[in-house]
Structure 1
Amino acid sequence: MRKLYIILPVHNRKSITQEFVRLLKVQTYSNYHLILIDDGSGDGTEEMVRSHIPSLTVIKGKGDWFWGGSIYQGIKYIKLNHSDLADGVLIANDDIIFDHEFLEKGAKALFSKGGNIIVASCYSQQTGRLLGSGVHADWRNLTFIASNEPDKINCATTNALFVTVRDLLQIGDIHPKLIPHYLSDFEFTMRACKKGLKLVPEPSLTVFVNETTTRNITGRVSGLFDYFNIRSPEYIVSWTFFILMLCPARYKYLNLCRIWYQVLTAARRKADRFL
């Protein structure tokens, strides 16, 4: 049984993290090592997790790592401490619900399909509807649509991704200074595809996502403040670097104009209220 490292970023969601830990403790696959990246929680999250899983590794931040920086710290730990490149890694959000065979099914799919990133099928905890396994990014229209079709999936969220240590190191680091929070997962998985890895949905691997704690990357009207808030899906700095790093050249200028036009439009609306 190969080792499975679990990279789990947390921040002040003790009750949500506690449910994740409860589900982890009853897994049929026991050879895992939890890497808890606690980015400055002040609600006792670390102590709660330690009381249930004493053998974990805790990496502590000060609240300014966000998602990208937290995953960066987890990857850094695995680089320095892994024992076998053939071992596996699960990158997960703490607000997912899964069954007692989740790790076993994920490990089986991962270790039997070399050169792939295994993606779980995500369902809504609130409605039960299928949200998708991966995402199809359409650069021409700058849209990101959930998809279950393997041929269309070219990026994914990190609700639950399985990857081998070898492939994780091949993909390379997250870029938390350029894309600190939202879009980090899309950048990471798109870069993986560019390096020849495939995002493979595994039908038997299902998670239920809490839609009240997980925000969509697109589809809502934003105020001006959202474009300059690191925690916002519309954070303009992340969008700018995301496009510069990954967008095909023929759409790059168009998409940069699109996102900055939205910012200028929001600024104009804000200014009109004071005139």
Structure 2
Amino acid sequence: MLYIVIPVHNRLAYTRACLQSLREQTTSNFRVIVVDDGSTDGTSAALAAEFREVEVLTGNGNLFWTAGVNVGIRRALERGADRVMTLNNDVLAAPTFVARMLYWSNRYPNALLGALEQDANTHEPIYGGEVFNWVTHRRRELLRELTPEQQRGLHAVTYLPGRGLLIPAQVFAAVGLFDEARLPHYLADYDYTSVARRHGFPVYVNYDAHLLTYPDESGQEQTRRQRSVKGYYEHLFGIRGGGNLRNFTHFTLKNCPPPLVPVSLLNGYARRLVGYFLHK
């Protein structure tokens, strides 16, 4: 059985819409666990009343993304899950999303799978996975390389984000859970899928499964939207900072080939120090 784990903190309207999209799936062969980390907008009570099929676990507000999904994964495994999917609450699943993820998961039972992301407002594809080069520190975005005819089925990538990430249970047995001690929020998903790939588990984007996302609602975008000294500090050092130097250092030391660590760190630090001001 597939268990879908959704960590949330406030933003009840997004959570409602996400859960409603899961209700409208063409398959019902899954269960949903929401980890409500200290919401103050009545999330837990609303879900108990409106989505009785959803199991709600609660935190004290200090779990952040990584520890939140780990709480849900532990419960899913206790309940006998053979696959777990992490999903953000600010996404909408296309009606065939789960069915198409299960279709390919049944054919590649050891693979970690992500989905093609589309802008929720325009339905234009915006993320289809990437291949990362540690030497140049550049990302090859598959959406820019694949023809429309090629944008179907599975495509191998270096890592995957945690929004719509399907993980077979055997991966947890081999790798463990997400690294909540060193990567409490950002990069934990990229780190986990990179580690799993190095352990021999394939990592693919599934172009047949579609998620609708809101790119401007990510914590990184909100921090950068109004540039300021405080925002710059949060960008580099805050738990929700997309350029967090500590998180990047941990990620690089864990995943970069050792001979390339010095150049990759220098390149990455430079990009993070100046990227906040260059990003539009």
TM-score, scaled relative to structure 1: 0.84
Report if the CA contact (8 A) 2:252-2:265 is conserved: yes
Say whether 1:166 aligns with 2:182: no
Report if the CA contact (8 A) 2:130-2:158 is conserved: yes
The residue type equivalent to 2:57 in the other structure is: I
Say whether 1:256 aligns with 2:265: yes
Tell me the CA shift for residue 175 of structure 1. Answer: 1.0
| Unmatched segments (≥5 aa) in structure 2 | 147-153
Residues 34, 255 of structure 1: alpha-carbon distance in 2 compared, 3 angstrom cutoff: same
Quote the Cα distance in structure 1 between the aligned partners of 2:111 and 2:270: 37
Q: Who is 1:273 aligned against?
A: none
Quote the Cα distance in structure 1 between the aligned partners of 2:155 and 2:91: 26
Of the three residues 25, 32, 35, the one matched with 1:34 is: 32
Superposition misfits of 4+ residues, deviation over 4 angstroms: 148-152, 259-266
Residues 146, 156 of structure 1: alpha-carbon distance in 2 compared, 3 angstrom cutoff: farther
**Identity level (%):** 23
Q: Who is 1:202 aligned against?
A: 206
- SS of the aligned residue for 1:200 comes to strand
Q: Who is 2:80 aligned against?
A: 83
Residues 198, 265 of structure 1: alpha-carbon distance in 2 compared, 3 angstrom cutoff: closer
The residue type equivalent to 2:29 in the other structure is: N
Report if the CA contact (8 A) 1:88-1:107 is conserved: no
Quote the Cα distance in structure 2 between the aligned partners of 1:151 and 1:29: 24
Tell me the CA shift for residue 265 of structure 1. Answer: 7.5
Quote the Cα distance in structure 1 between the aligned partners of 2:113 and 2:192: 14
Note the aligned Cα RMSD (angstroms).
2.6
Tell me the CA shift for residue 144 of structure 1. Answer: 3.8
Q: Who is 1:92 aligned against?
A: 87
Matches within 5 A, 1:1-275: 3-79=1-77, 81-83=78-80, 87-148=82-143, 153-214=157-218, 223-260=232-269
Tell me the CA shift for residue 261 of structure 1. Answer: 5.2
Quote the Cα distance in structure 1 between the aligned partners of 2:83 and 2:124: 29
Quote the Cα distance in structure 1 between the aligned partners of 2:274 and 2:138: 19
- SS of the aligned residue for 1:141 comes to coil
Quote the Cα distance in structure 1 between the aligned partners of 2:74 and 2:217: 27
Deviations 1:115-162, CA, capped at 9 Å, x for gaps: 112221111123433222222222112234432566661101122122
- SS of the aligned residue for 1:76 comes to helix
Residues 185, 144 of structure 1: alpha-carbon distance in 2 compared, 3 angstrom cutoff: farther
Report if the CA contact (8 A) 2:155-2:206 is conserved: no
Residues 66, 213 of structure 1: alpha-carbon distance in 2 compared, 3 angstrom cutoff: same
Tell me the CA shift for residue 180 of structure 1. Answer: 0.9
Which segment is superposed worse, 220-229 or 257-266? 257-266
Quote the Cα distance in structure 2 between the aligned partners of 1:238 and 1:8: 22
Residues 262, 165 of structure 1: alpha-carbon distance in 2 compared, 3 angstrom cutoff: closer
- SS of the aligned residue for 1:122 comes to strand
Which segment is superposed worse, 189-198 or 165-174? 165-174
Report if the CA contact (8 A) 1:5-1:33 is conserved: yes
Quote the Cα distance in structure 1 between the aligned partners of 2:274 and 2:27: 52
Which segment is superposed worse, 3-12 or 69-78? 69-78
Report if the CA contact (8 A) 1:21-1:52 is conserved: no
Residues 45, 238 of structure 1: alpha-carbon distance in 2 compared, 3 angstrom cutoff: same
Going by fraction, where is helix more abundant, 1 or 2?
2
TM-score, scaled relative to structure 2: 0.83
The residue type equivalent to 2:255 in the other structure is: L
Tell me the CA shift for residue 186 of structure 1. Answer: 0.4
The residue type equivalent to 2:264 in the other structure is: N
Report if the CA contact (8 A) 1:10-1:94 is conserved: yes
Tell me the CA shift for residue 259 of structure 1. Answer: 4.2
| Unmatched segments (≥5 aa) in structure 1 | 270-275
